[in-house]
Structure 1
């Protein structure tokens, strides 16, 4: 519209100037007596009126406005013919002849009608030839006049053509600049939408961005598919459709990726999929062709989405009723937009990971304490009453960590988390408080309902059979029934009850764990259990001989059972090796006293013999391990169990040694008295066995 207005203003100036020219020449002829006006006053007024009439109509008539260039061309051409006619009548007087050439040159410069202008010049040449032929002018040499006309005409035509080409180039550059400006503006729009991307507005902003892309590229659908983590399925997660285009999103969920091998072969190679006409698709892509036909797709472009060098999904851009006419420049623009949105998706995934780290326990996958506190504040309201709390604590975690290592402890924690989670309702909140503690928030649940959940947890805990060690969870509960009660006080009540239950259950739980350790050690070496039983009887007999108290006798019996418990983590191949141990293997064996000490110390019941377990391989002369204790600094019961242990080992066959006779074993004990063994205890022991 703006261009048309500019053209109208330009041609209006031509009309005024042409009318003025007729008037000026009339004045010149009037006041120059030696010149004769070739036109009558009436003819001149008519010509002036024609130009003025068109000038006026250009303001009043839309029809004239739309055809302004053609009308200007016709009236200008009539003026040239009129001038040729009067020049002919005047026998081509020089002044008029030059005027024809000048006006023709101006005519060529004014109009951009290339073919029509060329034909017009050809017509004027023919007319000029005929008029010159029939003229008998003596004032002008015909060849010179004709050649001058041709030169001026050609030159003006060339200038006009050059100007037009320059204008076209300028217009093309302007269009490219406008297109580039529109692209940059749209890109800035999409980028700004995705700058403040948050977890709450992610879906909205991605959908808005797809809308902007769809409208910019004038397509019917723009969408994003996500591939599942196991790469087995794909689903349409985001979609924009143009007005009048049916959405297909609901139908495009959990589609098997194995079915579309051609499609995913290209995507995995980071290739763009460009289908200009669906009917021309290869036969190997028949499944893809069928699916796209069901959506009425005619042509499309697909851009893969890779995040951390792994296929996340793809962008799709469809045309339903027409074929896609994308040049390389548009495809490059499309890839730029896709990169911007891909970065936004990647940032969103990072934010989700941060949230997961912020709100989830990394070991069990349960909510952490931070999230629990947020939810507790949200649910601590009148509407959620009665609001109950369950505190849960995994019994014996320290002894498990010390016995089997933290890997086994983590396995037990995960199993406890699994049991707790499976026992709860969807609306309940379960979180790991840290260490071996869990906390459960039960909205709209009274004491009876909470007790039922606790019974369910206990039942499921008892049913766990696929662990080497027994699973034991101490539980406590409390309920908030009045809005004025402090929820923190309710948590303390539940925690206190749980602690009381833990004290009563812990001893039994740890005993079961230790018994499990003994059984596990026995499974590694079939001789271990019999060795402990023989030692227990021999130690009891020796204790009676030297007059141990009943308390020390019980401790000695427990020590005989547990003295080698630290070997639980030693590989069976080392325990049962027949050849001589390597230095590395011997260092591993020597660590069992320290490990046994940690295990026994984890339980109040067995802590009484922890120091003796630690010291039962110390020697009287300080040459033993692990602390090089000597003489009376070695615990008394440890000195006794060292004698009993050595005698039983010597008199029973081992993978690495033959069995000695009783006499040979006592001879060896007598030889080592004062170096390995307490000499007084060794003498008493030998005397008892004689």
Structure 2
């Protein structure tokens, strides 16, 4: 405003139109719009008179600034967004910023965190990583979130060796962080632009390639490790589910032997027994242990565990071969199960084996919401639902060969 007013005094302009932030007499800052001009005739004492209008535009200005902020900053993390990142690339494309180190970053566990614990947990993970990045890097570093799980860091006047050493230290610190039982693993890639003749986007591509190679090298073992940690967290929080898994494993092993399955198929069944309910990690303990009856929306929430389990397991090479069996283990022989409502031989054979052993094990086990049945009572339930819920051939073998109970249908 002072500069504009001086131009007015120098007769460089006839009017001024300025937005000015001032402090109200009550102490709070307000935004004002000032427009006015000088009177042509000075006073008898030679004073110049300025006449104009001062308008409070605080509400309008704050909304405008909010929109501007949203257009340049990521709404979740508060970091620069992709639009601002593209502008920063232009700013650092200069000799004064060399050497310019580019650090590409990818949060390894975001997808499995979203699948296992919900998007709220995924958001928390992203905000936690953001906090660690902001604490680690100095203020002159530009940190942007340019995708769901991707960040890019532009570090002016930073040589490659120093940037790499800094990232290695950050990576070691992040590995010690554990959220929802999962280590905060992040993949990094570093490249440095040293000459202005080099295209900055070449450095970005190099950093991105290094990051993806790092992610690829550790993804196989890392994803399996994460699934193992999710399983252990689930069992620690729900000891009754560990007992249930062991019961299922016992009966699946016996049933598989009665069908003379290969060692490979038997091992798959035993792994399936341990992991088939991993999707329940996304269901609250209160709901899992809630006494019956459940509301419709609660039933649907629990039923989603087979789909969530599938998404968790499908991301791992070690578990992807049984992911479809986990998805299908609540399908029914008559097509009235969930989630896909497939029937008979459309249901994978391992899922049909699991369906019987899982149901039987649940019936003979005491849960907080239900008393167990006797083995004889539970076997009658399997017989009664043979041909509707269960594969009739597998059901008969289970009753007659595994349980050694006479098949008596009502």
Q: Same fold (TM over 0.5)?
A: yes
2:392 aligned with 1:679 = yes
Q: 2:80–2:145: 8 Å Cα contact kept in structure 1?
A: yes
Cα deviation digits, residues 479-510 of structure 1 (max 9, x gap): 12232221111111110110011112223433
> Highest relative contact order (Cα 8 Å, sep 6+), 1 or 2?
2
Taking the aligned partners of 1:496 and 1:378, their CA distance within structure 2 comes to 24
| Structure (1 or 2) with the greater helix fraction | 1
Aligned equivalent of 1:458, options 154, 160, 171: 171
CA change 1:620–1:194 in 2 (3 A) is: same
Which residue pairs with 2:320 in the alignment?
607
Q: 1:314 to 1:381 in 2, by over 3 A?
A: closer
Distance in 1 of aligned mates of 2:169 and 2:230: 28
* Alpha-carbon distance in structure 2 between the residues aligned to 1:446 and 1:362: 31
Partner-residue secondary structure (3-state), 1:556 = helix
Q: Which runs of 5+ in 1 are unaligned?
A: 1-184, 198-205, 208-223, 227-301, 306-310, 316-332
Partner of 2:93: 380
State the Cα deviation string for residues 404-460 of structure 1 (Å, max 9, x = none): 221111111111111122111221111111110001111121221011111222133
C-alpha distance 685-420 of structure 1, shift in aligned 2 (>3 A): same
Asked if structure 2 preserves the Cα contact closer than 8 Å seen for 1:536 and 1:560, the reply is: yes
Moved more, 442-451 or 378-387: 378-387
Deviations 1:8-54 (A, max 9, x none): xxxxxxxxxxxxxxxxxxxxxxxxxxxxxxxxxxxxxxxxxxxxxxx
What pairs up with 1:402-417 in 2 under 5 angstroms? 402-417=115-130
Deviation at 1:653, TM superposition (A): 1.5
Task: For residue 346 of structure 1, report the CA deviation from its aligned partner.
Answer: 4.9
Structure 1 residues 512-565: Cα deviation after superposition (integer angstroms, max 9, x where no partner): 433343244335432011211232243233323323334433332232122212
**In structure 2, how many angstroms separate the alpha carbons of the residues matched to 1:434 and 1:412?**
14
Pick the structure with greater CA Rg.
1
Instruction: Specify every segment of 5 or more residues in structure 2 that has no aligned partner in the other structure, as ranges.
Output: 1-7, 33-49, 405-410
CA distance in 2, matches of 1:546, 1:364: 54
The answer as to 2:132 corresponding to 1:419 is: yes
| Cα pair distance change 1:679/1:436, threshold 3 Å | same
| 2:146 is the counterpart of 1:433 | yes
1:184-199 matches, cutoff 5 A: 193-195=16-18, 197=19
Aligned to 1:358: 71
1:646 equivalent in structure 2: 359
Structure 1 distance, partners of 2:122, 2:315, is: 13
Offset of 1:604 from its aligned partner? Answer: 4.1
**1:580–1:656 Cα contact (<8 Å) kept:** no
What is the CA deviation profile of residues 590-636 of structure 1, one whole-angstrom value per residue up to 9, with x for unaligned ones?
23223322333344443322221121112222232233322111110
CA contact (8 A) 2:176 2:184 kept: no
Residues 542 and 615 of structure 1: CA distance in aligned 2, closer, same or farther (over 3 Å):
same
Is this contact kept in 2: 1:396–1:506, CA < 8 A? Answer: no
**Alignment: residue pair count:** 377
The superposition leaves residues 64-108 of structure 1 with CA deviations (integer Å, 9 ceiling, x where unpaired) of xxxxxxxxxxxxxxxxxxxxxxxxxxxxxxxxxxxxxxxxxxxxx
Quick check: 1:399–1:603 contact (8 Å CA) kept in 2?
no
Distance 1:192 1:653 in 2: 85
1:392 and 2:105 equivalent?
A: yes
Change (3 A) 1:402 1:680: same
Q: Indicate the SS of the match to 2:183.
A: coil
**Of 23, 37, 59, the match for 1:225:** 23
For the residue of structure 1 that corresponds to 2:287, the secondary structure is helix
The reply to whether residue 636 of structure 1 matches residue 349 of structure 2 is yes
Task: Map 1:134-173; keep pairs closer than 5 Å.
Answer: none
1:334-390 Cα offsets, whole Å, 9 max, x none, are 9x955x2x32x5555444323322221111101112222222222222332222111
